[in-house]
Structure 1
Amino acid sequence: MATSTTAFEVPSTQAALLVASPAQPFTLSSTHPVPTLSNPNDILIRIEATAINPVDWKVQQYGLAGAEWPAIMGSDCAGVVVKVAEGVERVKVGDRVLHQGQYVNRGATFQQYTIANANLVAKIPSSLSFSQAATIPVALSAAAFGLYGPRVPKGGAALLPPWHVSESGKPVRKAYKGKPIVVLGGASSVGQYVIQLARLSGFAPILTTVSPHNIPLVTSLGATHPIPRSTPLSELPSVLTSLTSSPLEVVYDAVSAQETQLAGWELLSEGSEGTLVLVLPACDALKQKLAEEEKKGGKRRVISTYATVHGPVNREVGEEMYGVLAGLLERGDIKPNEVEEVPGGLAGIYEACERMKKGLVSGRKLVVRPQETTTE
């Protein structure tokens, strides 16, 4: 496929972190081929920063249906466009961009170069570093699709996004003004973006469970009523009713452990049409409650959102979001997670994944710089 001219020298091989098969260790290669452009909207990105997510070590440990092996993990990317397919006009060589990668080797991010779809990237404002930008794609996708995706399996609560354009030609802002929302796990990477989107959508009060040391963080993002994580989950309904008499339409469970799933379900009033959004599959106990709800004709729903812009369910919402994301970041409407840079380039991912497995990361996102990888 013909490509644009470029001032960047692109090598034929690169450093990449590979997994031979499920449950095998990460292996650093210095001679992995740089992916090539093969589709009309393809762009080649030199990855300057990639963030680590829990799904990365889980896929390394347990595999993923349809994955190619040896496999490259990683899906949070910030970098520089170094090649574009002929006809691509949305971005140009030299642009600083962020995007969500895929679990296919040519589109994964635990390597120095990756392929992205030009329609699914956003330019990075000068106010953000590559490391800050790398914290955004995956967690923002989970938050946005859980709130604004269609009310179908792997979708979301079907709310109107704040960037939706009304018939008058103006974005829909504050569409849910004065309505309450509960975010379980507000200091998590996903929870932080849920809080910010809820604020942009006008929700109030915004209640969130959080460790005491992260209360300043979540309030700075828009949470109006942080609830210490030590508060028994059984007390959440009384906390909610003490603050508002308005019906609760959405609970977003960014933790999705069994106890938070069941607590989130109980927050939705019986007889309501509320939606509980999860980032993991529903536990068996919640499935039983959902089956009972459907049997008696109830309208409460549980959605395990599919946190990728590449899935057909969320593609429309995703393209709209990426079309306005640069502006949201430029204005400070959306702020990145706090960053901790892990040294060692791609080799630092070993340590980062181990820390995440042990639950040693809170309120911030671990980021590595692939171009700093040494293979000697």
Structure 2
Amino acid sequence: MQKTLETNANNAAQFHKRHENISIPQQQSVLLLRAIRQPYELNPNYRVPELQHEHELLVKVSAVGLNPIDWKAPDFNFGIPVLPYISGRELSGTVIQAPSSSSFRIQKGDVVIVPSTDYRDLRKAAFQQYSVAASFNTIRLPKHISVESGSILGVAFVSSALALGICMGVSFEGIEDGPDLLSLVRSIEPDRLPADIRAECLEGIQEDERAQRGDFLVIWGGSSTCAHTMKQIARLAGLKIISVVDSGKHGLRLSNHPSIRPDLIVDSHDPERAVSVIQAATGNSARLGFDTQGKESAAYLLRALQSPDKPDALPADSSKYSSSPKSDLPTPPSTPSDALSIKATRSHLVGLTDLPTTNIPAGSALHNVPIKLFHEIPEIGEALSAWCERLLLKGLLLPPDVVGIVNGLEGINAGLDRLRRREISGGRLVAVLN
């Protein structure tokens, strides 16, 4: 372990030295998606994106983390706002153009992580040699962490922190001066919050329902990259963690990894038994759940969060109980109900990809991660980015494992094919650019 850390530190130091002075060309190479269900196409003569706002930076991309959404979006035609499209949700690299004011946290020459959650702005996409980032969405990378490792941390960190801080109400105030995200977002003028996540931010969880130290958090799909990050943050907040995973495939790795070792591993092979084990182990007291897999597993997790004395399920058409406006997201909004009394014993289930739409118990609230907060509300983006820097610097947050490397933008299609075939688990593939 020590040898690996020393190697990463040496590589990172050499990277910093090589990238101290970088000029800005007019043309760059990008990967373009020209049609749905088609491979990305390399275009070597694409214009370098230009800065449009004072708070923006230009980053020379060094490494790109490959996410499942990078192949699922074009294959299933979602999250593609325009064609041709430049994809890629997270990267690391060097800031080569920055605001002249010294008041900004990020400066020219910094090596940074950029979680590119603003997928509608193609200037910010990762599948290109130069990418634009907002200074409040940029995380300085400490020298002991390689750019490859940094490139796969950002989206998982943002998703985990928002799920815990907004949807479950965890306060990070006692952890390296972390933010109380729920209080922060509720101090913001409601009209500034995007309409499709406003109800989640303002009504998703009540003050007396907020997660407390000692509460159980059940993560279904506990081997994912997002689960890797969430477990670390949740443990810092004092939550007790139950991971539901394929124990034959991931149990030994999770048990031997001190940073992500849960309090209890439950085998997902028999979901019915997994539900029973969770309820028995917690004495039916678990009320916080995070699902990384999809609608079916989320439905099992929702059952695991129910105790026998909770109310029966809502009618099959539970959409009328939602307090949120309809959106174009693939999952339903959170479900606090005017027709139901809200109690401190209510369960809270956060779905990363999808959520059940029928047989929702009345004592439950369903949540989507309000990812837009990160890039549309500067106060939230800055609070999370600066806090992530402090956690990384102190070694309190470790990136997921890099389990494979592809060379350059031209290697990304082959890498995404490996994701399609489910050949990658326990970490992420990274595309390394020259």
* More off after superposition, 343-352 vs 109-118: 343-352
Deviation at 1:48, TM superposition (A): 0.6
Deviation at 1:360, TM superposition (A): 1.3
Match of 1:61 in 2: 75
Which of these residues, 112, 130, 133, is aligned with residue 113 of structure 1? 130
Query: C-alpha separation between the residues in 1 aligned to 2:380 and 2:392?
Result: 17
Which of these residues, 92, 100, 105, is aligned with residue 107 of structure 2? 92
Query: C-alpha separation between the residues in 2 aligned to 1:128 and 1:8?
Result: 21
Query: C-alpha separation between the residues in 1 aligned to 2:381 and 2:348?
Result: 20
Query: C-alpha separation between the residues in 2 aligned to 1:131 and 1:54?
Result: 17
Q: Secondary structure at the match of 1:77?
A: strand
Instruction: Report the residue type matching 2:150 in the other structure.
Output: A
Query: C-alpha separation between the residues in 2 aligned to 1:107 and 1:13?
Result: 16
Deviation at 1:66, TM superposition (A): 6.7
Instruction: Report the residue type matching 2:168 in the other structure.
Output: A
Match of 2:317 in 1: none
Q: Secondary structure at the match of 1:287?
A: coil
* More off after superposition, 203-212 vs 54-63: 203-212
TM-score by length of 1: 0.84
What 5-or-longer segments of structure 2 have no aligned partner? Answer: 1-19, 182-210, 312-344
Q: Percent identity?
A: 23
Which of these residues, 279, 291, 295, is aligned with residue 253 of structure 1? 291
Contact 2:163 2:350 in 1 (8 A): yes
Contact 1:206 1:222 in 2 (8 A): no
Query: C-alpha separation between the residues in 2 aligned to 1:343 and 1:20?
Result: 22
Q: Secondary structure at the match of 2:406?
A: coil
Instruction: Report the residue type matching 1:128 in the other structure.
Output: I
Q: Secondary structure at the match of 1:281?
A: coil
Is 1:348 the counterpart of 2:422 in the alignment?
Answer: no
Match of 1:172 in 2: none
What 5-or-longer segments of structure 1 have no aligned partner? Answer: 1-5, 150-155, 167-174, 372-376
Query: C-alpha separation between the residues in 2 aligned to 1:327 and 1:198?
Result: 16
CA gap of 1:347–1:43, structure 2 versus 1, over 3 A, is: same
Deviation at 1:315, TM superposition (A): 6.1
Is 1:320 the counterpart of 2:390 in the alignment?
Answer: no
Instruction: Report the residue type matching 2:271 in the other structure.
Output: L
Deviation at 1:316, TM superposition (A): 4.8
Match of 2:265 in 1: 226
Contact 2:242 2:266 in 1 (8 A): no
Query: C-alpha separation between the residues in 1 aligned to 2:144 and 2:367?
Result: 35
The count of residues paired between Structure 1 and Structure 2 equals: 340
Q: Secondary structure at the match of 1:181?
A: strand
Query: C-alpha separation between the residues in 2 aligned to 1:349 and 1:106?
Result: 19
Query: C-alpha separation between the residues in 2 aligned to 1:143 and 1:242?
Result: 26
Please list, as runs of the form range in 1=range in 2, the aligned pairs for 1:206-221 lying within 5 A after superposition: 206-219=242-255, 220=257, 221=260
Is 1:289 the counterpart of 2:359 in the alignment?
Answer: yes
Is 1:137 the counterpart of 2:173 in the alignment?
Answer: no
Match of 1:186 in 2: 222
Which of these residues, 358, 368, 385, is aligned with residue 304 of structure 1? 368
Match of 2:324 in 1: none
1:252-300: CA deviation from partner (whole Å, max 9, x where unpaired): 1111241x11111101222531111111232xxx21213xx4xxxx341
1:150-193: CA deviation from partner (whole Å, max 9, x where unpaired): xxxxxx22322352369xxxxxxxx7332211111111111111
1:206-244: CA deviation from partner (whole Å, max 9, x where unpaired): 3432433422433421311112332x1112233224433
1:20-74: CA deviation from partner (whole Å, max 9, x where unpaired): 1322321101111111111110100011101111111122234446723211100
CA gap of 1:315–1:37, structure 2 versus 1, over 3 A, is: closer
* More off after superposition, 190-199 vs 300-309: 300-309
Is 1:332 the counterpart of 2:371 in the alignment?
Answer: no
CA gap of 1:315–1:257, structure 2 versus 1, over 3 A, is: farther
Deviation at 1:304, TM superposition (A): 2.4
CA gap of 1:310–1:66, structure 2 versus 1, over 3 A, is: farther
